[in-house]
């Protein structure tokens, strides 16, 4: 005959009182609550550590807005998972400023942990030479030696006095140069992704930035952002947004393009790290009269 009422059976046949059973349940609940509190604290500590790491990444990168002579350089890097695998740095060098925008393949902590190494390598090689292709070649050899992830990079030397920009685009989406007269140029000279072959060769291209010209460099997270219809933002939309924003300041162009990308992807979250750099010659939106720009003949 089964037990009922205030007693319940045990495997050994000795009845257990309901108060003892309730006490056991409360002890188990306290144990679970203690574990939950511990996990919550560990999660909080991890979140704090990731936030601090993200701040270190931001300090390693260039300030959001840099001014030098008649040039303004605005930049932003957004991480899709705490630490971005994208980076942007500006270094002083003989003959001007060295600008480097890079994208480590992958995302999250694995990619983000490589960015301090990449920034350091760029700085070391920029101190030895200001030639973009030589900087890229030196960084590439180091990455191959370390068996680092493949990395794309856009490295440029800007002479604020003359407006000359020498650049090397290694496996990176071509930067866009929008002339004050409205003509768009694609800066694609360079070479392959870094980390593929230690003996890879790289080329340097050259352009001159005139008054009112705007240079836009970006990572593939911009053009590969997708909307609800699974369409990519793409090159054409990026070019169109650059044209719409081109009369603004470097800051204005940057945030106009970023807003366009985020509006396009909404309500979806971005799925890849996103970085943008805008270089403006003359940061007041002043446009020369048609035909007055020597680059547009």
Rounded-to-integer distance, Cα 155 and Cα 175, Å: 10
Q: What angle do CA 115, 116, 117 make, to 5 degrees?
A: 90
Assigned token pair, 46? 């991890």
Rounded-to-integer distance, Cα 72 and Cα 158, Å: 11
Query: Residue 29: its pLDDT value, please?
Result: 82
* Cα–Cα nearest to 265, from 80, 64, 117: 80
User: Regarding the domain delimited by 61-296, which CATH topology (the fold level of the hierarchy) does it fall under?
Assistant: Phosphatase 2c; domain 1 (3.60.40)
CB 150 within 8 A of CB 196: yes
Query: Residue 90: its pLDDT value, please?
Result: 94
Query: Residue 250: its pLDDT value, please?
Result: 95
pTM: 0.79
Domains of the chain, residue spans? 16-60, 61-296
Assigned token pair, 94? 């003989």
Give buried/exposed letters for 124-136 (b at 16+ CB in 10 A, else e): ebbeebbbbbbbb
Backbone φ/ψ region at 272: left (φ over 0), alpha (ψ -120 to 50), beta: beta
Query: Residue 37: its pLDDT value, please?
Result: 73
Measured CA distances, 246 to 31, 46, 206, 242, 262 (Å): 61, 41, 22, 6, 19
Strands 96-104 and 7-8: unpaired
Query: What does 104-159 look like in DSSP terms, one character per residue?
Result: ESS-SHHHHTTHHHHHHHHHHHHHH---HHHHHHHHHHHHHHHTPPPEEEEEEEE-
* Gyration radius of the chain over CA positions: 27
Residues in the chain: 297
| Segment-wise mean pLDDT, segments of 10 residues, the chain, 297 residues | 48 60 80 77 65 63 83 91 87 90 87 90 95 97 96 97 97 97 96 97 97 96 92 96 91 94 86 92 52 34
Query: Residue 45: its pLDDT value, please?
Result: 61
Query: Residue 290: its pLDDT value, please?
Result: 34
Q: Is 208 helix (H, G, I), strand (E, B) or coil?
A: strand
Rounded-to-integer distance, Cα 52 and Cα 66, Å: 24
- Neighbour count for residue 288 (Cβ, 10 Å): 16
Assigned token pair, 285? 């939106």
């Amino acid at each position: 005959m089964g037990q009922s009422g205030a007693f319940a059976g045990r495997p050994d046949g000795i009845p257990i009182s309901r108060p003892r059973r309730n006490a056991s349940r409360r002890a188990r609940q306290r144990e679970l609550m203690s574990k939950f509190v511990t996990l919550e604290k560990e999660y909080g500590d991890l979140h704090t550590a990731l936030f601090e790491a993200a701040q270190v990444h931001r300090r390693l990168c260039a300030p959001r807005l840099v001014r030098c002579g008649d040039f303004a350089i605005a930049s932003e890097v957004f991480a899709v998972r705490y630490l971005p695998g994208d980076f942007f740095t500006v270094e002083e060098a003989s003959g001007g400023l060295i600008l480097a925008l890079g994208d480590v393949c992958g995302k999250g902590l694995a990619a983000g942990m490589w960015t301090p190494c990449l920034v350091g390598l760029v700085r070391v090689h920029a101190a030895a030479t200001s030639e973009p292709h030589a900087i890229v070649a030196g960084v590439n050899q180091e990455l191959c030696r370390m068996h680092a992830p493949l990395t794309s990079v856009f490295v440029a030397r800007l002479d604020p006095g003359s407006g000359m920009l020498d650049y090397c685009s290694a496996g990176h989406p071509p930067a866009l140069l929008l002339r004050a007269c409205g003509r768009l140029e694609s800066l694609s000279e360079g070479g392959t992704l870094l980390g593929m072959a230690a003996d890879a060769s790289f080329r340097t291209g050259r352009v001159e930035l005139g008054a009112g010209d705007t240079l836009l460099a970006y990572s593939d997270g911009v053009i590969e952002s997708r909307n609800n219809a699974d369409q990519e933002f793409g090159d054409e939309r990026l070019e169109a947004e650059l044209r719409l924003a081109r009369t603004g300041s470097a800051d204005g162009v940057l945030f106009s393009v970023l807003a366009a990308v985020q509006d396009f992807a909404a309500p979806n979250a971005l799925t890849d790290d996103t970085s943008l750099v805008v270089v403006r010659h003359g940061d007041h939106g002043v446009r020369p009269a048609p035909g007055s720009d020597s680059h547009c003949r």
